[in-house]
Amino acid sequence: MEKRECEFENLEYQRGFGNHFRSEALQGALPNGQNSPLHCPYGLYAEQLSGTAFTTPRKQNFRSWLYRIKPSVGHEPFQLYSSPSLNFAGVIDKDRFLTTPTQLRWKPLECPEHPRDFVHGLFTMCGAGSPFLRHGYMIHIYVANKSMEDCALANADGDFLIVPQQGRLWIKTEFGKLQVCPGEIVVLQLGMRFAIELPDATSRGYILEVFSGHFQLPDLGLIGANGLAEVGEFETPVAWFENKHCEAGFTIFHKFGGQMFSAKQEHSPFNVVAWHGNYAPYKYDLRKFCPVNTVLFDHADPSINTVLTVPSEKPGVAVVDFVVFPPRWSVAEHTFRPPYFHRNCMSEFMGLISGSYEAKAGGFLPGGASLHCCMTPHGVDATTYENTISATSQEPVKVSTNALAFMFESSLTPQVAISAYNSQQRDAEYHQCWSGLNSHFALES
C-alpha cells in the first residue's frame, strides 16, 4: 500500500479549465501533426473521443485524441449486466420513481456489510429528464468499501460530478490518474473509462449525473475577472498507461440508456500512452473557492456561490448548478443573516461534506441530504431562527467555520427514487423542524 500511496500522493496535474492540453507518458509519443498510423510513434493507435457533436461551434467543441496500445473497440460484445447488488436507477419510470412536493431529508447512508465497489455502491436519490433525450440529470449517493479491480466504468449517459464526503478516491482514467479527497470534486465526462480504488477502506459521496451537456464555469458579470472558482485551480491528469494483459479479462462496465452493460477484453483499458485535446477529466478543491457576498445589508442569492453550471437554452437558467457554501465572513448589518425562508422555481438537493450547516441546528448530517422541490417552502429550522433573532450582535461573524455544504440546483423538477423514499435513512420527522416557528406578530411594534 505504501508504494501505491506514493503513486497517488505525488501526482502531477495540468492546470486550467477547458484548455487544449498535451501530455505524453513516453517522450515523443505524441505524433507531430497527422494522426495517421504511419505517423504515430511507438506503433500506437490513434482514437478520437468526441464530447460534443463534430459540428459544435469551436468555442464549445470538446474532443481529445488518444494514442493507445490497442484501440478501445477491442472487446467482446456488450451484454446487459444485472446483479442483485446493483442499486442505481437510470431512467425515470413509474415503477421506480414517485412524485412528491414534500420536504425530504435523509440521514447518511450506512456502509455496506458486504464488499461493494463504486459501480455496485451507486444508490439513486432523484432525477428528471432522460438519458435517451440527452436532457436532464440524476442524483446518486455512493457508498463503497471495495476497490474496482480489473474493470472500468464508462458512462454513455452523461457526465459524473463526484463529491466525495468520506474516504479518498484513487481514480485511474484513460487520461491519467487522480487522487480526490473529501473537500475536492472530480468531473468524469461522458464516455471516459475510469476505475476507482478506495485506499481508506470505506468511501461515501454524492454524484450529480448530467445528461444535458458539460459543466462550464459561470460568467462573472459585474463581479469582474476575479472571484468564485479560479480557472487555474482546476487540475487535469497527465498521461499514464499500463501495458497489462489479463487472460481472465478486464470488464468494461458501460452505462447506457440508464442500464448497465458489460464486456470483456484482454488488455487494460488504461493503455493510453499520450493524448491531446480539451476533453479530459478534472478535479477542483472547493477550499480554493473565493466567495463573494453582500458587505452592508441583506442577502445575495445562493447563486453567488456557483462553482460550475450546465446552462439550458434559456438565458440565465441552468439545467443544473453546482453551488458550494464554504466557510466565510457574514457582515451584513440589520439583517437576518442565515438563509432566508423561500420558495424557489428551481429544485434544490443539498448535501453536507463536513461540519454543521448554518441553517439547521440539527438533523442535517455529513453524508446526509435534503431535497426541496420547485415551490416547496423551506428555510432555517425553528431553533436557528429563534437563536438568531435573540442574538443582538451585528459584528462580523465567521460562519460555517468547520463546514462544507453544497447544493445541486436544477430548473427541472425531480422525481424521487422509491428506494430512496422508502429507505430507513429518510427522516420522516423532517417537517417537525419548522413546527416550533411561533408567531411573533404584534399589532404594535
CA distances from 172 to 100, 116, 389 (A): 38, 18, 50
Q: Give dist(CA 324, CA 83) in Å, integer.
A: 35
Calpha distance 337→294 (Å, rounded): 11
Q: Which is nearer to Fe ion, 4 or 342 (CB)?
A: 342
Q: Which of 8, 14, 351, 287 is nearest to 168 (CA)?
A: 8
Among residues 335 and 376, whose Cβ is nearest to Fe ion?
376
Annotated ligand binding at 357? The verdict is yes
Please, which residue, 132 or 341, has the CB nearer to Fe ion? 341
* Least separation in angstroms between CB 48 and Fe ion: 42
Phi and psi torsions of 387, nearest 5°: -60, -35
DSSP notation for 306-319: EEEEEE-SSTT-EE
> Contact letters (x/-) for Fe ion, 337-376, by CB under 5 A?
-----------x----------------------------
Nearer to Fe ion, 348 or 427 (CB): 348
According to the binding rule CB under 5 A, does residue 24 interact with Fe ion? no
AA identity, residue 287: R
| Cβ–Cβ under 8 Å, residues 232 and 52 | no
CB of 419 to Fe ion, least distance (A): 25
DSSP H or E run through 6: helix 2-9
Are 306 and 218 in contact by the 8 Å Cβ rule? The answer is yes
Considering the complex, state which of residue 159 and residue 348 has its C-beta at the smaller distance from Fe ion: 348
Beta carbons of 354 and 326 less than 8 angstroms apart: no
Q: How far is the CB of 25 from Fe ion (least distance, A)?
A: 45
Residue least distant from Fe ion (Cβ): 348
Binding mask 63-102 for Fe ion (x = CB under 5 A): ----------------------------------------
| Residue 110 annotated in ligand binding | no
Determine the Cα–Cα distance for residues 221 and 217; give it in Å rounded to an integer.
Answer: 12
Q: Nearer Cβ to Fe ion, position 169 or 380?
A: 380
Q: CB of 173: closest distance to Fe ion in angstroms?
A: 34
Q: In what order do the strands lie in the sheet with 318-325?
A: 104-106, 369-372, 347-354, 404-410, 318-325, 306-311
To Fe ion, the closest distance from the beta carbon of 337 in angstroms equals 15
User: At 272, is the secondary structure helix, strand, or coil?
Assistant: strand
CA atoms within 13 A on the CB side of 56: 12
* Closest C-alpha to 203, from 325, 353, 308, 84: 353
Report phi then psi at 189, rounded to 5: -80, 170
List beta partners, residue 351: 369, 406
Q: Is 39 annotated among the ligand-binding residues?
A: no
- Least distance between Fe ion and beta carbon 126 (Å): 15
| Region 216-255 residues binding Fe ion, contact defined as CB under 5 A | none
Residue entry with cell 463536513:
354
> Which cell numbers in the block locate residue 259?
442500464
Q: Decide whether 104 or 252 has the Cβ nearer to Fe ion.
A: 104
Rounded distance between C-alpha atoms, residue 58 and residue 176, angstroms: 25
Per the annotation, the verdict on 299 as an active-site residue is: yes
DSSP bridge pairs for 346: none
Q: 214 labelled as ligand-binding?
A: no
According to DSSP, residue 342 is labeled B
Least Cβ distance, residue 370 to Fe ion (angstroms): 9
Task: Please count the residues of this chain forming the interface with Fe ion, following the rule CB under 5 A.
Answer: 1
Q: Which of 245, 299, 334, 440 is catalytic?
A: 299
Annotated binding-site residue numbers for Fe cation: 342, 348, 378
Using CB under 5 A, list all residues that contact Fe ion: 348
Which residues are annotated as part of the binding site for homogentisate?
357, 378
Catalytic residues: 299
Binding residues: 342, 348, 357, 378
